[in-house]
Amino acid sequence: MFFTSSRSDMFYECMVRAITGTSFHPVGTAKIGAPGDVMAVVDPRLRVYKVDGLRVADASVMPSIPSANTQAACYMIGEKAADMIKEEWNL
């Protein structure tokens, strides 16, 4: 069988490194927050601070890691971004 005592620790370490992965949902790399928040990258309207014409509308704006899958939240962020852009352009 595959998992036998004849395999070395080095073999198992190599196997684990080669065939495992994470199931994390990275968030928070472009945190949304108030202008006074030194960790915030994006304002409440998803505009990047100090960069004209750039918005971020994905999981990276979430200020903390949710306890569930991020797919539905990403859809909501995208829909809200679309609504805010249409509002600003009077569409």
59-75 pLDDT, tens per residue?
Answer: 999 988 888 889 999 99
Give the number of other CB atoms < 10 A from CB of residue 89. 7
pLDDT in tens, 6-62: 678 888 888 888 888 766 777 889 999 999 999 999 999 999 999 999 999 999 999
pLDDT of residue 33: 92
Alpha carbon separation from 87 to 56, 63, 83 (Å, rounded): 17, 24, 6
30 assigned to some structural domain: yes
Whether 68 is catalytic is no
Alpha carbon separation from 23 to 26, 69, 71, 86 (Å, rounded): 9, 10, 13, 35
Residue 39: which domain range?
25-88
**Joined tokens for residue 74:** 């990403």
1 assigned to some structural domain: no
Its pTM surpasses 0.85: no
13 assigned to some structural domain: no
Under the phi-then-psi rule, with left for phi > 0, alpha for psi from -120 to 50, and beta for the rest, what region is 46? left
79 assigned to some structural domain: yes
| Per annotation, catalytic residue among 25, 31, 47, 55 | 25
Q: How many domains does the chain have?
A: 1
Q: pLDDT higher for 7 or 91?
A: 91
